[in-house]
Chains A and B, each alone.
Chain A
């Protein structure tokens, strides 16, 4: 008679229900009953009753034997012990495994800190969601359109008056370096700003002393930062002290408040604030001039887009119908000002402004570096699994369940990832100071240890441990007990998954490296590009109203020094965004007005910077018209605009807007890059006007820079004893414009090096395991007469293929991505096949080196040794 067994499906169900410690007995009891019933009734009925029994057993869902000796703690202790023994047994691999992950984690942590810092900009203002910056789009003809951060003085109050949804406005009118005097002791202050009385109400800058509401009640009040107070007053109480402020005109101001130094994550930075009241009368009707930032606060339920749509009408109301040809207005949310202003020029008060897309690039990179590290971790753990098959065999044979084995290895991997986390903390602690130096930020590691962030970090670490542990754990627990005991639990030829991971890792690393190389090339290219003027050896010294009166003397004195070759003066420094001004010109008989960049310069300016004149002549002292400010030189962009329709540009009647008489255009200068190089060269005109210089430019002899500087200083100090001598090199100033890009490329370079190191670490570990698995094969080959080089070849072949596949995958992706990035630059390097080849061959060599290091060891070993292993 065929032995009837209870239905398998129901037995499986039972297994799910009953705790595994008592499953055996319970199932046995049920089976016995089933067989008893078979003697008395039909099979179907017995099955049905069995089903009822199983169903009723649901009640025993929670049943456990608690009295038996069952102490999992001992087991866990054993897990820990075995984990550490294994770590110590294979120190090299453990190091690679944990250190690689720690590297990835550390870079990820630091990047997240940086990103967090970027996103925190202006976040401390309570009304931040309702605050918008009023920006303009200025356009001139069809040539260019540029967004500028500036707005006009009367715009704020008029908006408040005209639109109920605007509930407040605050203007921030920054000034140049200003000289303060207290008891006749001079101090320079970098950022003195004139603001509206509402400024402190709208923005939450902390007042340490003084009252937020009343602080600007007196027009002659000034509030200063804590550090400035310390500099000027030392330990004295600054409140009520008098300061002479030489801001356009001499004002005596009273200190009415002290504010905490502006936090580094505020886009507005200032050392002292005064009220706009003193300048209000003369500027109240000053439409047409853009020189300050306006912030408006909208009502809670107001729709910024709807208001934006009404701003055209607003402009027309105050500036006439034609204004729309030159201007439009838009509102920029406060949260966008720091990260979303890369395309906005004349953005003078935007501290450390940064590109949001760069932040995203960082995030992506951090993710991928962590991914590479995790893959490594997983790969190495899986490879190591092979060496631990005996342990799994023993555990299984003395009764370990599959789930327990899985659990053990998962736990192990989580534990390792936590060890890696601790190392990562140490690494980031060591790296944060140099990193802060590179990116010019004040990142603080303690942020990680705030409860919420710490929990997040722990969760991510656990997840990494779980995810990278799950594959090896499943592989290990699936070992056949007998095979595992024999020591060959891992079937060979099943490494497809691991190989795919290696390819993936290398593809990411290659992409990152090619990207970095291209980005660095682009940056170097921009910095070394011929700007159209000579920026080397030029020293810029700021001028002020009192020094301007003696400019001629200064110039003559400087020219007579032997280490100074030339001296000129300008109203604006090259490399800045030059100011936009209104202009007017006569085309045929019509008088046309427009807006364009302009700069007021000394006669010899173009000669000083060796600019190339393509038509007409440069400005010169010898012409009376030039001296009278009636001669203008335009750049090629403006000439193209003015000469549209085949008109003759030379001799065209031209002047600043608002002038009664027109001058003439006397020359056209070749376009030179006065802006950042990712921007096109905008229309520009130069002229000599007696409006006062903002700086003197001095050219030094190449071999005697220090002496030259000393000469300038001695001339300066004799002429202007009241002004401390300060200077800046023009090329430093221009390099500064690329700081954001430089920081970006530096950090990315570090990351890409890390990426390849981590990937190589992984490959190294993996290679050594593969090599070990094939020890015997290599021994036999050697016995049969293979040479060392042949064996190295055999072992390296596979990895070469992997890197090649990785390269083939990453190359087109990289090409596509980088082409998009470079398209954003007006002047860009081409993407050559050379870089791809270089990086491809380079990464192959690195891979080969790591692998052959292992294979050479095997190849040169004695086959007797390798063959003996059983």
Chain B
């Protein structure tokens, strides 16, 4: 089904949103990813991912929390939907199932 596929970066963003728990808006998601993954991300890429994930139904959002540094503009807070969590778990178990059948790794351990 179109739109259900989760890209690598998208998965990262989704995980970050899940980790941030109720305080996830674009700027903090960006800093979270930069910190954890140790890679530079442009804010626009975060925007793309967030809005696309929302469109796909992995995220839902609400508006609120304008501050002075934002020039009075409101934030959009994102939250992972049940469907989003399900997809995250599926992605994880998919990987797990691959890990479990990779022979070299299992012998070396």
Chain A residues packing against B (C-beta within 8 Å): 3, 5-6, 22, 24-33, 35-36, 52-53, 56-60, 63-67
Given A32-B27, A32-B69, A35-B69, A25:B48 Cβ within 8 A: no
CA distance A27 to B74 in the complex (A): 9
Q: Tell me whether A31 and B51 are in contact (CB under 8 A).
A: no
- Cβ-neighbour of B74 out of A5, A28, A60 (below 8 A): A28
State which residues 22-66 of B face A: CB under 8 Å: 25-27, 30, 42-45, 47-48, 51, 54-55, 57, 60, 63, 66
- Say yes or no: A67-B44 contact (C-beta < 8 A), given A25-B74, A25-B76: no
| Residue of chain B at shortest CB distance from A63 | B51
Could you tell me if B74 and A67 are in contact, using CB atoms closer than 8 angstroms? no
Cross-chain contact B54 with A29 (CB below 8 angstroms): no
Closest to A30 in B: B43
Please give me the residue from chain B that is nearest to A50 by CB atom.
B43
- Are A59's CB and B44's CB within 8 A? yes
Select one of A29, A63, A67 contacting B48, CB under 8 A: A63
Cβ of A29 and Cβ of B51 under 8 Å apart? no
Q: How far is it, in angstroms, between the C-alpha of A114 and the C-alpha of B29 when the chains are bound?
A: 71
Residues on A with C-beta less than 8 A from B75 are 25, 28-29
Q: How far does the Cβ of A94 sit from chain B's closest Cβ, in whole Å?
A: 41
CB neighbours of A30 from chain B (8 A): 43
CB of A15 to closest CB in B, whole Å: 12
Complex formed: what's the CA distance from A35 to B70 in Å?
8
Closest A residue, CB atoms, query B51: A63
Report the minimal beta-carbon distance from A23 to chain B, rounded to whole angstroms. 9
Residue numbers in A under 8 Å from B43 (CB-CB): 29-30, 33, 53, 56-57
Cβ distance B81 to chain A, nearest Cβ, rounded Å: 11
B73 interface residue (CB < 8 Å to A): yes
Given known contacts A52-B42, A66-B55, is B47 in contact with A26 (CB within 8 Å)?
yes
Cα distance A35–B71 in the bound complex, in angstroms: 10
| CB pair B70 A32 closer than 8 Å | yes
A63-B43 Cα distance, complex, nearest whole Å: 14
Contact with A along B78-100 (1 / 0, CB 8 A): 00000000000000000000000
Q: Is B67 among interface residues, defined by CB-CB distance under 8 A?
A: yes
A60 close to B70 (CB less than 8 A): no
- Chain A residues contacting B66 (CB-CB under 8 Å) are 28
Asked if A56 contacts B42 (CB within 8 A), the reply is yes
Q: How far is the CB of B25 from the nearest CB of chain A, in Å?
A: 7
Chain B residues within an 8 Å CB radius of A65: 51, 54
CB contacts (< 8 Å) of A26 on chain B: these are 26, 47
B73 touches A27 (CB 8 A): yes
> How long is the Cα–Cα vector from A56 to B30 in the complex, in angstroms?
14
Which of the residues A27, A53, A60, A67 comes within 8 Å of B71, measured between beta carbons? A27
| A25 in contact with B42 (CB, 8 Å) | no
A29 close to B55 (CB less than 8 A): no
- What is the bound-complex CA distance between A520 and B27, given in angstroms? 80
Task: Assess the A31–B71 pair: CB atoms within 8 A.
Answer: yes
A65 to B48, CA, bound (A): 11
Are A31 and B48 in contact, CB atoms less than 8 angstroms apart?
no
Q: Are B70 and A28 in contact (CB under 8 A)?
A: yes
Question: Could you tell me the distance in whole angstroms from the C-beta of B64 to the nearest C-beta in chain A?
Answer: 10
Count chain B CB atoms within 10 A of each CB in A25, A36, A53 and give the residue with the most: A25
A729 to B60 Cα, complex, angstroms: 92
Minimal beta-carbon separation of B42 from chain A (angstroms): 5
A52-B42, A59-B48, A67-B54 given as contacts; is B27 within 8 A of A33 (CB)? yes
What's the nearest-Cβ distance from chain B to residue A580, in Å? 86
Q: In the complex the two chains form, what is the Cα distance from A53 to B47 in whole Å?
A: 11
Q: B44 contacts which chain A residues (CB < 8 A)?
A: 53, 56-60
Contact B47 A29 (CB under 8 A): yes
Q: Is the CB of A60 within 8 A of B48?
A: yes
A33 to B29, CA, bound (A): 12
Q: Which residue of A has the minimal Cβ distance to B68?
A: A3
- In the complex, the chain B residue whose C-beta lies closest to that of A28 is B73
Distance to closest chain A CB from B80 (angstroms): 14
Nearest 10 pairs of A and B residues by beta carbon = A28-B73, A28-B70, A56-B44, A35-B69, A25-B76, A57-B44, A29-B26, A31-B71, A56-B42, A24-B73
Least distance between A106 CB and chain B CB atoms (Å): 50
Residues of A within 8 A of B26 (CB): 25-26, 29
The CA-CA distance from A59 to B66 in the complex, in Å, is: 25
Specify which chain A residues have a CB less than 8 angstroms from the CB of B57 in the assembled complex: 67
Using A5-B71, A29-B43, A53-B42 as known contacts, list a sample of 4 further A-B pairs with CB atoms less than 8 Å apart, ordered by residue number in A: A22-B51, A28-B70, A33-B30, A63-B47
The winner among B30, B47, B75 for most chain A CB atoms within 10 A is: B47
Residue in B closest to A18 when the chains form the complex, CB atoms? B47
A7 to chain B minimum Cβ distance, whole angstroms, is: 12
Q: Report Cα–Cα, A850/B42, bound state, in Å.
A: 67
CA distance A733 to B45 in the complex (A): 87
The answer to whether B54 and A25 touch across the interface, beta carbons within 8 angstroms, is no
Q: What residue of chain A has the Cβ atom nearest to residue B46's Cβ?
A: A29
Given contacts A25-B73, A57-B47, contact A67 B42 (CB under 8 A): no
